[in-house]
Amino acid sequence: MSTVLLIGIAIAGEPAASTVAQVRDRWAQINYQVPKAQRESAFEDLLTQAQALRQANPRDASALIWEGIVLSSLAGEQGGMGALGLVKRARADFEAAIKLDANALDGAAYTSLGALYYQVPGWPLGFGDDDTARAMLRKGLAIDPDGIDANYFYGDFLRDQKDWAGARAALQKALSAPARPGRDVADAGRRQEAQLKLKDVTAHLAH
């Protein structure tokens, strides 16, 4: 979700498989540029690619993180009870990534895990938990305090909690985050999301 290392895979002289950067860039295209009706099948295709990347690099935290992000995004497109199995797999990926390298991709595993915990339903349907969400999102922020994703998701969580002033501060910080090299599509899309959420938060503060 944040700055990603370019990781090439070369297996016994075979052609290089997908890289983290390729999965990352394709995710941004699908998430922000592909029409909604086509997104689910596009994420299904990308999941196959992300799974192959993770299987080839089982000790690479960034590969685990991106498989988890694709699983989460596919779950968001599918919705309903079927999505819960996908988000549980995503949670396992993020937890495994944290064990390998908690700082990978600027703490993206913590931020992504926090996002799952406040967006997934709570017990008995899912594992959602606002206290865990807050703890995970703050860990992500501690690693990447000025990052667009860490601040966006913390701001969105605070908005969900009706902490309008806190949400405004975090979303404004997301909007002023430095650009990420090679992440133009993702940055533009995230900024647009942050502006929409900030507009809603500002309306609540005006009352």
The backbone torsions φ and ψ at residue 57, rounded to the nearest 5 degrees and listed phi first, read -135, 65
Residue 15 has pLDDT above 80, yes or no: no
The residue behind tokens 């910080």 is 173
Element (H, E) at 129: none
d(CA 151, CA 147): 6
**Residue 10 binned pLDDT confidence (cut-offs 50, 70, 90):** very low
Q: Mean per-residue pLDDT for 86-97?
A: 97
Residue 19 has pLDDT above 60, yes or no: yes
The pLDDT tens digits for 52-75 are 999 999 999 999 999 999 999 999
Residue 119 has pLDDT above 70, yes or no: yes
d(CA 203, CA 125): 32
Residue 139 has pLDDT above 80, yes or no: yes
* DSSP three-state, residue 120: coil
6: left (phi over 0), alpha (psi -120 to 50) or beta: beta
Q: Is the dihedral of CA 198, 185, 121, 150 positive or negative?
A: negative
Residue 6 has pLDDT above 90, yes or no: no
Give the CATH architecture of domain 1-144.
Answer: Alpha Horseshoe (1.25)
Task: Give the start-to-end residue ranges of the domains of the chain.
Answer: 1-144, 148-207
Peptide bond into 124 cis (omega under 30): yes
Residue 81 has pLDDT above 60, yes or no: yes
